[in-house]
A and B are shown apart, each in its own frame.
Chain A
């Protein structure tokens, strides 16, 4: 306390009396400094209190308890040649695993799931079931209320994984060495199946952790408690798989080198590049790629330390756009607008995801594309022009305030000396065969898929079977 303050306090002491003085001191000590909140302009951290972060990023669909699982399982009709199986890219025998849950053997159910889809735990969390198995469920047709296939799958796989059980074992060693590039869903599925067949597998990934988009690219509330990391650890229990992180294709090794040193190579490198808007001033402060924002959020130790804008604009209409927009809101952004250039029905994000975004307070604006970025140094506004469904501009424009802009208009394949492309992705025939002998590809980097985790798993698994067949004659 400086002398002046002391003197002032002494005056108080005299004027108000000792008791009142001490009361006041106590009140001063209790006062919380004014904290940033959702109204604070600019990109700032700590907009919410800790309890709000915890609540906002809690599990989107907590695991069913035993009774809930039995009730949900009982709704399955055990259909003949069930439509849900047909709708599953990995062909999981859904009626069988649900019956196994209903009869009190979730571990057996998990095995039914995992033998088709080794990342069944993650798929149970992130699959757009509303457009896959649950859309095909006959009870969706009958009542608009499908069997909760995704949540039942999670119940089964969580039960098994929490018991620390890995139900698969390796066949006798073949002596074959296979390189897998990319430790995402496709690469991991491929590696696991190859290891099961008795091959020795090395998985290379440029990032610090394996998991690919499961680890870096999915909204945090879909995979809480480090599930992606735990799932990889569990998957590797098969043995025979060496993971080398921090090793990137073209930077640390070439495809040609890998192909020479191994009996086969699987490319599951995903899409490493991000599409640009193609506007002037796209490099202004506050403009980021949504994938970077999502990855940063997933790896953040303390969500309160993550800065987010007050007025956030997300450009794009896919799952990445929704994940970025919703999480910006959950971090405390006041206004989040998701702007897509076509109609809602054309958005890659499912209706369920759109509803989720809306329920979290994201404003979805359709039929508008960005035409200019305004601001002095940092972005201040984004100008959009309304577009018809065929994307023809209407000439009518509007501006959205923005102190932070996330670009989520698609990702692109990156790499040199890759196999032949079909369009902008690696051309594949059959089960992931590329134009190069001994090189297979699958997941987002391969042409023909639908950029879903579950599809990547199916492609990795099927490529492994094909690699095995071709190596073992």
Chain B
């Protein structure tokens, strides 16, 4: 069994699977259950400054979208940060950390943007013995209207300023949690680094309305006939999160900035993908909320098996391994020519590839009277749509044309030289060929 031990900015945990700051980490009871189930760490549900507790809505706080068999694909919430007294949370955190010293315990914080507020909460949080703090600059609903959460995360100057305060008033590792509701994720990441952050974590939830009740004409989740946008998470957001993680990981200006990957991690495979794109660990919420804490056991066994198969001695061998392969479009090799290939033995003759290609693409698949579907190489641009719509895994694949073969679509002989858009003759600003 591979060694899954994780050391993320000096915070050690037996595995890289942490529960994200969210409803599952709001109470001692839940967190103890999580640790018993095997989670490597938790980021405690975001703490607010001392005072009258936060108030939540008393109607539904979650909305969802589903796939086949009501499989939950996306979850949206309008819950706010913890609505329990600060001292209650601090006491519980202290007890939990005492009882689970090998697990990571990180405090998520959100207080008004003034130095005293941050200084004072940090002083109290340090006493719990927690391993670090995460600054919640990401929640997109409710708190943002009060100048906190994503309202901070969307202004790089604020991100930097608050991070600086936190580094100044504590010695704890500081993780800055970023909002995806921004045009360029690298800007707040850079601000966090400039403020002295030890790491960034991303993504927080995405502004969303999950659906509209077509009888009440109310957004979901509905509160008395009305709805407010919530934060979207779960499997549906993973591709967006992966890209944002990669954008930071491959930015030379941000090189070496540790990343905690968040956004739709549901299986070990999702976690491995985040890590391959540069995340040092991952944080999970929706999968646990959907299936319970036990899912971590599949994540542990799956990642372990994968690492063994790959011969990775530690998670460090995996982290960032895909980053060099994330490039800009203009760097893609235009001499990589492929054609779709349909395996007639596994084809079940549904014709979806044909409909997709004929109606919406390049008319590159033929259909015979007895429903044999074949690729017309002279038309196939290798778009991959047929692969994506085919219901049979592995039935349609992309096959690379070998060098010196002629692409019947272009009439050009395929070259095995690398050539991209920057040197292409059609590019008006192409670089001079050396």
Write the residues of chain A forming the contact surface with B, with a CB cutoff of 8 angstroms. 67, 70-71, 74, 77-83, 138-139, 141-142
Contacts and interface: CB of A to CB of B under 8 A. Distances in A.
Nearest to B68: A74
Nearest to A78: B352
Q: Which of B68, B348, B354 has the most CB of A within 10 A?
A: B348
B68 A81 contact: no
A67 B349 contact: no
Given A77-B391, A83-B371, A142-B392, A71 B69 contact: yes
A82 B348 CA distance: 12
A83 B367 CA distance: 13
Given A78-B352, A81-B351, 6 more contacts: A67-B70, A70-B70, A79-B350, A80-B350, A80-B354, A83-B371
A456 to B, nearest CB: 28
B355 interface: yes
A81 B371 CA distance: 9
A139 B348 CA distance: 7
Contacts of B354: 80
Contact of B348 (A74, A78, A81, A138): A138
B69 A80 contact: no
B352 A80 contact: yes
Contacts of A141: 348-349
In this complex, the interface size class of chain B, counting residues with CB under 8 Å from chain A, is 10 to 19
A79 B69 contact: no
Q: Which of B69, B349, B392 has the most CB of A within 10 A?
A: B349
Interface in B321-375: 348-352, 354-355, 367, 371
B391 A83 contact: no
12 contacts: A71-B69, A77-B350, A77-B391, A80-B351, A80-B354, A80-B355, A81-B367, A82-B351, A83-B349, A138-B348, A142-B348, A142-B391
Contacts of B69: 70-71, 74
Interface of B: 68-70, 348-352, 354-355, 367, 371, 391-392
Contacts of B371: 83
B78 to A, nearest CB: 25
B89 to A, nearest CB: 39
Contacts of A67: 70
Contacts of A82: 350-351
Contacts of B349: 79, 83, 138, 141
B70 A138 contact: no
A70 B67 CA distance: 11
A77 B70 CA distance: 17
B396 to A, nearest CB: 14
B350 A138 contact: yes
Contacts of B70: 67, 70
Contacts of A74: 68-69
A253 B69 CA distance: 57
B68 A71 contact: yes
A78 B391 CA distance: 11
Contacts of B352: 77-80
Contacts of A78: 352
Nearest to B371: A83
Nearest first, the 3 closest Cβ-Cβ pairs linking A and B are: A80-B351, A80-B355, A142-B348
Nearest to B355: A80
B60 to A, nearest CB: 20
A70 B69 CA distance: 7
A71 B68 CA distance: 7
A206 B392 CA distance: 54
A142 B69 CA distance: 20
A70 B392 CA distance: 21
Contacts of B367: 80-81
Contacts of B351: 79-82
A70 B70 CA distance: 9
Nearest to B373: A80
Contacts of B391: 77, 142
B366 to A, nearest CB: 13
B324 to A, nearest CB: 39
A403 B377 CA distance: 71
B386 to A, nearest CB: 12
Contacts of A139: 348
A266 B68 CA distance: 47
A77 to B, nearest CB: 5
Nearest to B66: A70
Q: Which of A74, A77, A82, A83 has the most CB of B within 10 A?
A: A77
Nearest to B389: A77
Nearest to B346: A142
Contacts of B355: 80
A119 B69 CA distance: 30
A335 B352 CA distance: 50
B358 to A, nearest CB: 8
Contacts of A142: 348, 391-392
A80 B367 CA distance: 10
Nearest to B395: A142
B220 to A, nearest CB: 15
Nearest to A81: B351
A141 B351 CA distance: 13
B328 to A, nearest CB: 37
A170 B280 CA distance: 70
A83 to B, nearest CB: 7
Contacts of B68: 71, 74
A303 to B, nearest CB: 39
A78 B356 CA distance: 12
A455 B425 CA distance: 64
A67 B354 CA distance: 31
B247 to A, nearest CB: 35
A70 B367 CA distance: 30
Contacts of A70: 69-70
B343 to A, nearest CB: 13
A139 B69 CA distance: 17
Contacts of B350: 77, 79-80, 82, 138
Contacts of B348: 138-139, 141-142
Contacts of A77: 350, 352, 391
A139 B351 CA distance: 13
Nearest to B354: A80
Contacts of A83: 349, 371
Nearest to B71: A74
B393 to A, nearest CB: 11
A263 B411 CA distance: 67
B389 to A, nearest CB: 9
A70 to B, nearest CB: 8
